[in-house]
Amino acid sequence: MDIIAEKQIDITNVKLIATDMDGTLLNGEKELPPDFYQVFQQIHAQGILFAAASGRQFFNLQQEFEPIKDDILFIAENGSYVRYKNEDLWVQDLPENSVAELIQIARTIPNAHIILCGKKRAYLEDHTPAFLEQVNMYYREKAFVKDLTQVTGDQFLKIAICDLNGAEHNSYTYFKSLQHQFQVKVSGKIWLDLSHKDAHKGRAIQIIQERFQIGFNETMVFGDYLNDLEMMREAYFSYAVENAHPDIKQASNFVTASNDEGGVTKVLDRLLAARQRNP
């Protein structure tokens, strides 16, 4: 669909934009669109809030957006952690007694590697090169430990499983029966994330909407994978990129171009053009 042709809701009223990172805003080379900062400055100048919503660690997101880190919202660890201007708006950690149980299950999965995602840093006990290559892309602050079940002194926001055999058809099956107790999210082809039942990007969007008095019809979101599903439900202007998982396309009101074609900034350009026509 084309939002310019869609007249039920006025796009010029958008006050909050939130986008997933990998597979959505970033291209296949993990790069921001070349026009991103130019577009962002125009959005920011008009008082529209912008949020980076990702399964990535907060410190990784902050590094990615270093030039504008004080001007955007960070929705990290799939919605477990929301931060804005050095203030924590939302922290939803896993119950302490559940962490060891989930780790023990994850240890039984062949060719799967575990990251215990704390608020302070990520914890690893595995030095497998292929795994570490993935870790280094998404986690800036990290530490190696002998036993993940013995880590203390942190709030554990998520357990991430890097499943080199494919998350949706492998590691997900080990945790599918626990979906009534936890968020069990396939967040990428080789990633499965386990977090508190109330920790997801949709809840993070709700927290931001409540804090800044922003409505459903004033919110625009972009996503591509299953960890974006709840976020799609919190905005009228919900966009799947063309390369998105079929379930995300079905849950979204609109579809834009792929991440490699700058789908997010194409829509933002149209938003800015519409506001210029109707200031």
pLDDT per position as a tens digit, 215-274: 999 999 999 999 999 999 999 999 999 999 999 999 999 999 999 999 999 999 999 999
Tokens 């949706």, located at residue: 168
Position 87 in a domain: yes
Q: Are residues 75 and 211 in the same domain?
A: yes
- Residue 224: both structure tokens together: 């591509």
Q: What is the mean pLDDT of residues 106-124?
A: 96
Strands 237-241 and 219-223, bridge-based pairing = parallel
- Residue 22: both structure tokens together: 């990998």
Question: Quick check: helix, strand or coil at residue 279?
Answer: coil
pLDDT in tens, 142-176: 999 999 999 999 999 999 999 999 999 999 999 99
Q: Which domain holds residue 77?
A: 11-91+200-277
How many percent of the chain have pLDDT more than 70?
A: 97
16 neighbors 10 (Cβ within 8 angstroms): no
Quick one: which of 250, 219, 214, 221 has its CA closest to 238? 221
Position 81 in a domain: yes
Quick one: which of 88, 63, 96, 94 has its CA closest to 204? 88
Q: Are residues 189 and 106 in the same domain?
A: yes
State the pTM of this model: 0.92
Cα–Cα–Cα angle for 247, 251, 253, rounded to 5 degrees: 135
- In the chain, how many domains are there? 2
Q: Tell me the H-state helices in 186-277.
A: 201-212, 229-232, 246-251, 263-277
User: From CA 82, how far away is CA 73, in angstroms rounded?
Assistant: 7
Q: Are residues 106 and 185 in the same domain?
A: yes
Of 168, 196, 224, at which residue does a domain stop?
196
Of 146, 167, 196, at which residue does a domain stop?
196
User: From CA 275, how far away is CA 267, in angstroms rounded?
Assistant: 12
Tokens 């042709």, located at residue: 5
Q: Are residues 108 and 187 in the same domain?
A: yes
User: From CA 250, how far away is CA 162, in angstroms rounded?
Assistant: 26
Strands 112-118 and 87-91, bridge-based pairing = unpaired
In eight-state DSSP terms, residue 253 is S
Does residue 115 have a pLDDT over 70?
A: yes
Q: Are residues 85 and 218 in the same domain?
A: yes
Of 169, 196, 223, at which residue does a domain stop?
196
Q: Are residues 223 and 154 in the same domain?
A: no
Paired with 19 in beta bridges are 52, 222
261 CB neighbour count, 10 Å cutoff: 15
Position 3 in a domain: no
Confidence of residue 277 (pLDDT cuts 50, 70, 90): confident
Q: Where are the beta strands (DSSP E) in 37-80?
A: 49-53, 73-76
Position 1 in a domain: no
Q: Are residues 108 and 239 in the same domain?
A: no
User: From CA 143, how far away is CA 126, in angstroms rounded?
Assistant: 11
Q: What pLDDT score was predicted for residue 4?
A: 40
CA atoms 142, 146, 147, 152: torsion sign: negative
